Chains A and B, each alone.
Chain A
Amino acid sequence: MRDHVELPDLVQLAVAGDRDAFGELVRRYERLVLGIAWNILRDYHAAQDVAQEAFVTAYRRLADLKNRGAFGPWVAQIAVRCCHQSRDRRPMLQLSADHDPMQLPPEPLLLNEETDRILTAIRELPEHEQTIVFLRYMEGHAVTTIAKLTDRPLGTVTKQLSRAVRRLQNLLIEVES
């Protein structure tokens, strides 16, 4: 089990070719990636495909990830791009007969309405703000830690986070109204 290994070390091991380490990265972030894919595509089978695609893309590009503690937000952004690419390709897909695009994901994956709504709003943020929001609220890092992970000054992160939260508030209010 690698669940006690620090994230940057897991990434480093994976970069070095340790597939078990990458498997642990998938385990830690698959719910996030699947959640994002579901949030965008509203098709569970497509979301699963895209989530796998996102992780494979992440594996190929892992050496490019500068801030290894920020793997989660990074793979989330890859997932968003994969979703958009997939959506562009979807008219070309041949759906199998038993494929029901309207089906809901299995219970363990079902996002509650609030999470779904917030994921939609987060996608409206600039990428650097998405990163900070995921690091802060999903992974629970302190602002000082986020500053280290993203290699930005503490004041910068604080400002970016405040702006992101304000923007999210506005976006959520807009959705509500």
Chain B
Amino acid sequence: MNVDDVLAEALQPLSEPLSTAESLVSNVLARLNHSRPAGRALDGPPAAPRRSQGRWPARVAVAVVAIAAVGLLLLFSRHAPSITLAQVTAAVDRQHWAHLVYRDGSETWVCLDDGKFLMKRVRDSQPPSYYLRDPATRTEQHYDFFHEIRLSRPEVWVLGRNRNGKIIPLDVDELTFSDSDLARPRRSTDEDRSKLAAVVDFDIVTEDGRRLGHFSHQRRDALGELQVSKELWVDLATKLPVRIRSWGFAAGMATRVAREGTYEFLEKGPSDLYDLGVPRTIPIVSQIETEKEAEQAIPAEARRAIAGAKSAVRRFPHRFRVLKIEGANQQTITYVDSGDAHPFGWIAGDEAVGTVGRYFSADCQDTGLASQKFAELTAEAAFDLSVPIPAAEISQAFPFASSVNTVLIDGRRWFVLTRTSVNPPKSQLQVLTASSSRDIDDLESQWEFADWNWTELATGKSSEAVPPGQMLVHAERVDLKNDWFVDPARDYTVARHVEYRLNDGKWEKRETRAVKWEHLPDGPWYVSAWETRRRGLVTGIDKDGKRTQQEEEIIDCVRLLITPLRPEDLPAGLFDGDKFLDAAKAAGAQLRVD
């Protein structure tokens, strides 16, 4: 029996209810009588006893209210829909295939008999992606990069069952309902709307002669305002869902847009991804069986390098500043405070994963908008590796007011300020609820192989020779090959990285070579300067003054300086999200709140 089965067999019984005799329910509910209701404001101090002003008027008032309530209830019940979750479940159970088609061309198919699930997803201006999950063979198929359908057998596999025990993929939330709301048509109260994280309103509408139950799901956005997130219409006669509308943002847009889909229930559905539109010439290629098998198949040297990288990353400080200088006209400053957690949880493989932490970064894309002093400081350091980066002076003079991209994570929210024009000022501020920390790409890329896909690490061989003293980690898939030459003497950082990417049938090479390292006090080595070589189009002017473009080798040089910080070294108010929000609003930023 594999570990998956062992865990499921051991833990699933814990979800069984206890018998009435052993149950804690009555005891817990009795104790709740002394607790304030969850989610409500703390009750005020108990009112002081008051002398009765005459009990009869109070009783009459209570009686009047009670009679009015009964009247309202009777009135309301006449309009209550004759629909329950059990009816909807039963109605869906009688069907064989559910098909949900969105107006953008996306579609989902679910076989309600065996749980087979197929999806075609259309995204803005991108080719569609396809996905199939087949419970009968415990396999998944993905098609999204146009060379092959990748077939895999995930280690983690579970079949959802609905309330009648019928197999149904649990992630099809379009087919899940809230019976409390079905049973109680209502608009949420002002109190609920001011306090709850999410509310659902219910009403009945008539469309094309059909009476439909309409559910409006609303949830709080990152700034705490209720926003409609999903609407669902259910036919009160057939008890089947009819239509769904979900609200979200299109890429780059500041206003919410609706994505609308309609349901149909059919006898038969597609049998494979080809039926859904994948060209039949595309082969299905089986991947290494499971992630565990892939890990075991990684070459020994690569495994040693990964272990060394993880060990090095664990020694990284938790608070630091990063100054990045890319040539004379592009600089970035970043502050990281990951608290007690680890800033590179993924690579370190420790409990930092999922921790939000605090983060601030701003860039300068045009030193013409900065002070003369800033331009001089950065230009000197950009072109001469022997010149130490004057970190304190650059930090002081950094032109935050003209940054094109500023990102702040205050521990709860992400703020992404994009300033597209300084004069006249024009900017957009996106606010999101933070659920994870931000990757620090320039640092994580120094140990990139340590968090790479295991299947790809276990595939193929490099044709390159390994320099003495270095280790080679190779990874490849059908459209991408990587060689990382790792320096074990400098904490397994990447000394040279060669990437081949298949683009329009042609392999494009990109090579990055470390040229300088620094050693963090009490921490690991890191690459403090590197150059990247790639082929690209370079624009020029010919002798007649005409604009020309020709492909040339482009060399980018980057310098990096990391300064570990103590909590007291962090600039005051740096991570203050409210202050940041107010300043952006005052500057006229267009708000987009997710």
Contacts and interface: CB of A to CB of B under 8 A. Distances in A.
B54 interface: no
Contact of A133 (B7, B155, B170, B177): B7
A166 B176 CA distance: 33
Interface in B1-56: 3-4, 6-19, 22-25, 27-29, 31-32, 35-40
A49 to B, nearest CB: 10
B38 A15 contact: yes
Contacts of B17: 27-28, 30-31
28 contacts: A4-B89, A5-B178, A12-B197, A15-B38, A22-B28, A23-B28, A26-B23, A27-B17, A28-B15, A55-B24, A56-B35, A62-B38, A63-B197, A68-B198, A109-B22, A128-B354, A129-B353, A136-B158, A140-B8, A140-B15, A142-B171, A143-B154, A145-B171, A153-B436, A158-B156, A160-B354, A162-B155, A163-B353
Interface stretch (B71-79, B235-243, B276-284, B343-351): B343-351
Interface string A16-59: 11010011001111111111000000000000100110011001
Interface in A123-173: 126-129, 133-134, 136-145, 148, 150-153, 156, 158-163, 165-166, 168-169
Interface residues of A, number: 77
Contacts of B9: 114
Interface in B174-199: 176-181, 192, 195-199
B131 to A, nearest CB: 10
A141 B154 CA distance: 14
A77 to B, nearest CB: 13
Interface residues of B, number: 68
Interface of B: 3-4, 6-19, 22-25, 27-29, 31-32, 35-40, 85-86, 89, 154-156, 158, 160, 163, 169-171, 173, 176-181, 192, 195-200, 291-292, 346, 349-351, 353-354, 433, 435-436
A175 to B, nearest CB: 13
Interface in A59-73: 59-63, 66, 68, 72
A104 interface: no
B178 A63 contact: no
Given A13-B180, A128-B351, A168-B7, A138 B25 contact: no
Residue of A56, A66, A129 most packed against chain B (CB within 10 A)? A56
Given A27-B17, A62-B39, A148-B173, A140 B32 contact: no
B33 to A, nearest CB: 9
A153 B11 CA distance: 25
Given A51-B24, A143-B156, A32 B7 contact: no
Given A5-B179, A52-B28, A31 B18 contact: yes
B354 A152 contact: yes
A6 B162 CA distance: 11
Nearest to A161: B156
Given A52-B27, A56-B31, A109-B22, A126 B38 contact: no
Contacts of A114: 6, 9-10
A108 interface: yes
A115 interface: yes
Contacts of A108: 18-19, 22
A118 B7 contact: yes
A9 interface: yes
A78 interface: no
Contacts of A153: 436
B538 to A, nearest CB: 36
A91 interface: no
A144 B18 contact: no
A82 interface: no
Given A137-B7, A137-B8, A142-B171, A26 B25 contact: yes
A163 B454 CA distance: 13
Given A118-B6, A159-B346, A166-B292, 13 more contacts: A5-B85, A9-B179, A13-B180, A15-B39, A15-B196, A17-B38, A32-B15, A62-B38, A68-B198, A128-B351, A136-B156, A141-B170, A144-B171
B14 A35 contact: yes
A157 B453 CA distance: 14
A9 B176 CA distance: 11
A22 B17 CA distance: 14
Given A4-B179, A16-B192, A108-B22, A52 B29 contact: no
Nearest to B354: A128
B160 to A, nearest CB: 6
Contacts of A165: 3-4, 7, 155-156
A170 to B, nearest CB: 11
A52 B10 contact: no
Nearest to A14: B38
A150 B24 CA distance: 27
B7 A48 contact: no
A114 B179 CA distance: 37
Nearest to A10: B180
A123 to B, nearest CB: 13
